Amino acid sequence: MSILDRLRGGRTAHDVDPLLVELQAALTPERVKMDSAQRSLLGKDASMFEGGVSGPICYPTSTDEVVAIAKIAERHGRAIVPRGAGTGLAGGAIPLGAPVVVAMTKMNAILEIDEENGIAWVEPGVINLDLTRHLTPRGFHYAPDPSSQQVCTIGGNVANNSGGPHCLAYGVTNPHIAALEVVTATGEVLLLGGLDAEPDGYDLRGVFVGSEGTLGITTKIAVRLTKNRPGVRTLLLSFATIRDAANTVSAVIAAGIVPAAMEVMDQKITRAVEHYVHAGYPIDAGAVLLAEVDGAEAGVDIDADRIRELGIANNATEVRLAADETERALLWKGRKTAFGAIAQIAPDYYLHDTVVPRSKLADVLDQIYEIADRHDVLVMNVLHAGDGNLHPLLIFDGREDGVMERIQAAGEEIITASLAAGGVLSGEHGIGVEKQPFMDQLFTSDDLDHQNRLRRAFDPTCRANPGKVLPMGHSCADIQQLRSVPTGVWG
Amino acid sequence: MDLHLDADDLNACVQCGLCLPHCPTFRVTGDEAMSPRGRIHLMREVQDHDAPLTDEVMESFETCVQCRGCEPACPSGVPYGHLMEQTRETLADAGALTPLWQRLAFKPLASPTLLQTGSSALAIAQRLHLVPKRLGISTELPIRRRPLEASGTDVYFFTGCVMDAWQRDVHRSGIRVVEAAGFGVTPTNELAPCCGALQAHAGLAEDTRSLAKKMMANLEPGRPILVDSAGCGAAMKDYGHLLGTPEALAFSERVFDIQEWLAGHMDRLPVAEPLDLRVAIQDPCHLRHVQRVHDATRTVLRPYVRELVELDDEGLCCGAGGAYSVLQPDLAGQIRDRKVASIERSTPDIVASANPGCSMHLAGAGVPTVHPMELVDRALGRADTAP
Ligand SMILES: Cc1cc2nc3c(=O)[nH]c(=O)nc-3n(C[C@H](O)[C@H](O)[C@H](O)COP(=O)(O)OP(=O)(O)OC[C@H]3O[C@@H](n4cnc5c(N)ncnc54)[C@H](O)[C@@H]3O)c2cc1C
Ligand code: SF4
Ligand code: SF4
């Protein structure tokens, strides 16, 4: 045996698996993978969850191929798990129990743009920002803009009903989806919703949006286009305390202004971001508020002035208006890369995503700092303040002894505090595997049973992304069992 | 296996995925194993969990263009380029990467006579249609080259290896432009035969270190060293990191990309009638993502051409990647197709690229490509030298 052979492990050997053979015959051998490297990679997404074990990984290029995958998986009694860009933060795309993973990245064509009716048909693997870039020269954009928009897919956005800074005025993903082509776990193709403004019958499209892959795989999506607004003003307000920033947000909404976006960042996160983008964020401020108004040229200056006044009335220490598009883009780049920028401080983070009534923002924030302090963990806060959507980031180094327990305990208290303030579990990242244990706190047992029945109507055999969203006992699959499948990925 | 990667560098990656769309190999495959996040994860699996070096793991490492487009996209500041260079060095040392034939192929780079003779032979073979297409040598190579002469000692002009053999006329243009700004130029010729970039990319960092030491010993201290190949400039600016000595750091600090340096001396360049051309700028990765001085190309070109246009792909790699287009022709071709589509959308008359590899790779797809210095030189050729 040469040195090379000894070092290089060779191609992954696996017994000829009939499931794999059939999948490869239905797609092509290159587009169905089963090697240890691939399985290890697709066992993860952007969340902290580590227990994923994937089966064969398929890269379909058409609806027909997705149907074929679903039928083959059914014959072999295996589940299917759709995956977009793998930026989910709640573990939605994590494969449990060695299912067939259906990676949608190769189905990334923009199929048709109908400017007259304001609709575009796209494949699910289209990247959110690519769609907007494609539309911009035509005077349109796709409004939901998650901070991960440069990479996340429209299919993933639909599955998680994702939001973004500009969803304050425009709404999250749901209202921007007109119709969906869906392949169920049994291989049936459905068309949900329609291009009419008010399609007749039950809104099954709305049921699918936010279903996190548990009702099937969407293979074609009709999104609504939003016209670009002529005027935009972006303000950066600095405050000594995050409470002042939160109060300004409430004051702006109370004054009847509907800004396109209102985002708050606390001091620590502002510093991390500034270090990365050099956009001139004030690193001495206790918190900053990034507010944007858009609309007709004449109106935006009036709104911007009123936000400035309200900020000053709430003790703003500085108010800056972005001078041009470059400055505006830089400020947004800072906000949108906030989650990544924290790695300059410590290698791991646990991001929460609760929503509380806007009037309780300042109080809940105080509680969060107190909880973090008590558990001796570092917390930073970024919030879609206009919606009351909190994103407390717990930052740590996973290599430190006992740190996971403290992070877990602090996280649970933060969620409980948010729920106690009348909030909900997830603003936009979804339930996935991460928030499941808390579903019991939010819903009654009856509620959960009904949800499970709805799910079963789409997925009678429980093979669409099992083990997600609905907690144990209310879902068709026993999660513990799914998690304990013993295949060592590198084995 | 210990890849000798710095644990903190490796742990800086939080797996957020923001780098994915900036990676050319992920863009054309949609495959996580062909992404920066995937490659970093596999480095971790190998180094921390002793995962075997399967062919698929090796393929993931070998298909990386080392364009470093992932670096500016990464909010956590993961030093991806250094991670991949170290990975390749460890694997090459262990004999798992860069087979003997490749190592032999890099040898002549460091020897000017061998390279010039070999290139002339190749040029003759090319005339006789004996050069296989997959080598991607699309421009006609010169059989004979006039030597480059020194005109003064204000600055060094780095001439290097392949570029000097194949594109000496580009050097000539660059030198004329610098001279037009009133500086005396010393071409480095045999004082600095090769920067070692290709070797470092292939994991042969020891070869690069010895070339770096030789160059540092041969070039007199103090003088700025101008480089007209983005890949070479990036490598030379990294000597400080590579050798880790104060001398190497000081050396790296006087290395300038030629556009970068001229952008600081625009007042000394003569005024000239702009060329009647719409020019698309293709930023070489090692200028944009590594040296991050690509704005200078615009500053220098703007007065000398009618119109500059930007490509709409945010500096995504063209797939040339030094020897990459020869070693991974399929992926390099697919990546180039994306670039060509973006160039077509911007409807230029000509494309300006400040790196010899990129321009040859693009020329191979029929895209008319020149070095920015050739355009400035052309404009100055009919320059009104009186200020
Ligand atoms: C840095 C960073 C910032 C983020 N910012 C935001 C933010 O501002 N707002 C926000 O809402 N989220 C945010 N997220 C979370 C994440 O980006 C979104 O949830 C996104 O919509 C996920 O898209 P994806 O393509 O990565 O999907 P994945 O993570 O691959 O999958 C997410 C879920 O969608 C399902 N799925 C994927 N494709 C399909 C399909 N075709 N059919 C059916 N189900 C499918 C998967 O099974 C999974 O349950 C952020 C994440 C990161 C890393
Ligand atoms: S390299 Fe940077 S951008 Fe890419 S996944 Fe890691 S942290 Fe995110
Ligand atoms: S260096 Fe280029 S090819 Fe390699 S991972 Fe980074 S972006 Fe991709």
Asked if the structure places residue A487 within a domain, the reply is no
How many domains does chain A fold into?
A: 5
What CATH number should be reported for the domain holding residue A132? Answer: 3.30.465.10
Q: Using CA positions, which residue lies closest to atom 2 of ligand 3?
A: B67
The confidence band for B115, taking pLDDT boundaries of 50, 70 and 90, is low
Asked if the structure places residue A136 within a domain, the reply is yes
Residues of chain B contacting A, Cβ within 8 Å: 1, 8, 11-18, 20-21, 30-33, 38, 41-42, 45, 49, 51-58, 60, 73-78, 91, 94-96, 312
For residue B100, give how far its alpha carbon lies from the nearest alpha carbon of chain A (Å). Answer: 12
Residue A86 Cα to ligand 1 midpoint, Å, equals: 7
Last residue of some domain: B62, B93, B124?
B93
Query: What pLDDT is attached to residue B92?
Result: 87
Asked if the structure places residue A490 within a domain, the reply is no
For residue B262, give how far its alpha carbon lies from the nearest alpha carbon of chain A (Å). Answer: 25
Instruction: Please report which helix (H) or strand (E) contains residue B230, including its range.
Output: helix B230-237
Amino acid at position B107, single letter: K
Asked if the structure places residue A261 within a domain, the reply is yes
Asked if the structure places residue A488 within a domain, the reply is no
Rounded Cα–Cα distance for residues A80 and A86 (Å): 15
B33-85 pLDDT, tens digit per residue, is: 999 999 999 999 999 999 999 999 999 999 999 999 999 999 888 999 999 99
Asked if the structure places residue B310 within a domain, the reply is no
What CATH number should be reported for the domain holding residue B23? Answer: 1.10.1060.10
> Is the same domain home to A167 and A121?
yes
Asked if the structure places residue B64 within a domain, the reply is yes
How many domains does chain B fold into?
A: 2
Query: Which residue from A45, A341, A490 is facing B52, i.e. has the nearest CB?
Result: A490
Amino acid at position A288, single letter: V
Query: What pLDDT is attached to residue A3?
Result: 47
> Is the same domain home to B220 and B250?
yes
Query: What pLDDT is attached to residue A359?
Result: 85
What CATH number should be reported for the domain holding residue A313? Answer: 3.30.70.2190
The mean pLDDT value of chain B amounts to 88
> Is the same domain home to B121 and B244?
yes
More confident position, B367 or A202? B367
What CATH number should be reported for the domain holding residue A401? Answer: 3.30.70.2740
Last residue of some domain: A197, A212, A227?
A227
Rounded Cα–Cα distance for residues A488 and A471 (Å): 26
Asked if the structure places residue B300 within a domain, the reply is no
Which tokens hold the place of A71? 């039928």
Contacts of A86 in chain B (CB under 8 A): 17, 32
Q: Which of A362, A353, A349, A396 is nearest to A376 (CA)?
A: A396
Q: Which of B20, B25, B309, B314 to mutate to test the interface with A (most CBs of A within 10 A)?
A: B20
> Is the same domain home to B206 and B75?
no
A465 CB near ligand 1 (under 6 Å) = yes
Asked if the structure places residue B375 within a domain, the reply is no
Query: What pLDDT is attached to residue B111?
Result: 67
> Is the same domain home to B69 and B21?
yes
Residue A459 Cα to ligand 3 midpoint, Å, equals: 39
Query: What pLDDT is attached to residue A473?
Result: 61
DSSP string, B237-298: HTHHHHH--HHHHHHHHTEEEHHHHHHTTGGGSPP-PPEEEEEEEE--HIIIIII--THHHH
> Is the same domain home to B159 and B218?
yes
Q: Which of A41, A47, A53, A105 is nearest to A79 (CA)?
A: A53
Q: Using CA positions, which residue lies closest to atom 6 of ligand 2?
A: B13
> Is the same domain home to B122 and B220?
yes
> Is the same domain home to B121 and B88?
no
Residue B119 has pLDDT above 70, yes or no: no
Asked if the structure places residue A489 within a domain, the reply is no
Which of A426-435, B215-224, B252-261, B320-329 comes out lowest in average pLDDT? A426-435
Contacts of B11 in chain A (CB under 8 A): 347, 397, 399
B186-230 pLDDT, tens digit per residue, is: 999 888 889 998 888 888 888 999 999 999 999 998 899 999 999
Are A150 and B12 within 8 A, CB to CB?
A: no
> Is the same domain home to B126 and B249?
yes
Query: What pLDDT is attached to residue B274?
Result: 94
State mean pLDDT over B334-356.
94
> Is the same domain home to B116 and B76?
no
Query: What pLDDT is attached to residue B139?
Result: 62
Rounded Cα–Cα distance for residues A332 and A265 (Å): 12
Last residue of some domain: A175, A203, A227?
A227
E strand residue ranges, chain B: 53-54, 155-158, 185-187, 225-227, 255-257, 275-282, 305-310, 350-353, 369-370
> Is the same domain home to A130 and A184?
yes
Asked if the structure places residue B365 within a domain, the reply is no
Write the DSSP symbol of residue A82.
E
Instruction: Please report which helix (H) or strand (E) contains residue A268, including its range.
Output: helix A267-277
> Is the same domain home to B19 and B118?
no
> Is the same domain home to A158 and A218?
yes
> Is the same domain home to A434 and A460?
no
A162 CB near ligand 1 (under 6 Å) = yes
Rounded Cα–Cα distance for residues B74 and B79 (Å): 9
Pocket of ligand 2 (CB under 6 A): A 340, 343; B 13-19, 36-37, 40, 70, 73-74, 76, 78
Asked if the structure places residue B349 within a domain, the reply is no
Residue B281 Cα to ligand 1 midpoint, Å, equals: 34
Asked if the structure places residue A318 within a domain, the reply is yes
Q: Using CA positions, which residue lies closest to atom 2 of ligand 2?
A: B74
| Domain extent at residue A207 | 110-227
| Domain extent at residue B166 | 108-263
Query: What pLDDT is attached to residue A344?
Result: 73
Query: Burial of B250 by CB count in 10 Å (0-12 exposed, 13-18 middle, 19+ buried)?
Result: middle
Last residue of some domain: B241, B263, B285?
B263
Q: Are B307 and B279 in contact (CB under 8 A)?
A: yes
Asked if the structure places residue B36 within a domain, the reply is yes
Query: What pLDDT is attached to residue A480?
Result: 42
Query: What pLDDT is attached to residue B113?
Result: 66
For residue B61, give how far its alpha carbon lies from the nearest alpha carbon of chain A (Å). Answer: 12
> Is the same domain home to B118 and B87?
no
Q: Using CA positions, which residue lies closest to atom 8 of ligand 2?
A: B16
Asked if the structure places residue B286 within a domain, the reply is no
Rounded Cα–Cα distance for residues A94 and B110 (Å): 49
> Is the same domain home to A281 and A326?
yes
Q: What is the pLDDT along chain A (491 residues), one digit of tens a residue?
A: 344 555 565 665 556 789 999 999 999 999 999 999 999 999 999 987 888 889 999 999 999 999 999 999 999 999 999 999 999 988 899 999 899 999 999 999 999 999 999 999 999 999 999 999 999 999 999 999 998 999 999 999 999 999 888 888 888 999 999 999 999 999 999 999 988 777 777 889 999 999 999 999 999 999 999 998 889 999 999 999 999 999 999 999 999 998 999 999 999 899 988 988 888 899 899 999 999 999 888 889 999 999 999 999 999 999 999 999 889 999 998 888 887 777 777 778 888 888 888 888 889 999 999 999 999 999 999 888 888 888 888 888 888 888 888 988 998 899 889 888 888 877 677 777 767 777 777 788 888 888 888 888 899 888 999 888 777 666 555 444 454 443 333 43
Residue B386 has pLDDT above 50, yes or no: no
Positive or negative, the CA dihedral A279, A280, A283, A289 is negative
> Is the same domain home to A184 and A276?
no
Are B42 and A37 within 8 A, CB to CB?
A: yes
Are B76 and A344 within 8 A, CB to CB?
A: yes
Are A7 and B53 within 8 A, CB to CB?
A: yes
Last residue of some domain: A209, A227, A245?
A227
Query: What pLDDT is attached to residue B213?
Result: 94
Q: Are B35 and B23 in contact (CB under 8 A)?
A: yes
Q: What are residue A221's phi and psi, to 5 degrees?
A: -135, 130
> Is the same domain home to A279 and A209?
no
Asked if the structure places residue A233 within a domain, the reply is yes
> Is the same domain home to B126 and B165?
yes
Query: What pLDDT is attached to residue B129?
Result: 65
B264-305 pLDDT, tens digit per residue, is: 999 999 999 999 999 999 999 999 999 999 999 999 999 999
Last residue of some domain: B236, B263, B290?
B263
Query: What pLDDT is attached to residue A11?
Result: 61
Are B18 and A12 within 8 A, CB to CB?
A: no
Instruction: Please report which helix (H) or strand (E) contains residue A235, including its range.
Output: strand A231-239
Q: What percent of chain B has pLDDT over 70?
A: 87
A12 and chain B in contact, CB less than 8 A = yes
Query: What pLDDT is attached to residue A70?
Result: 97
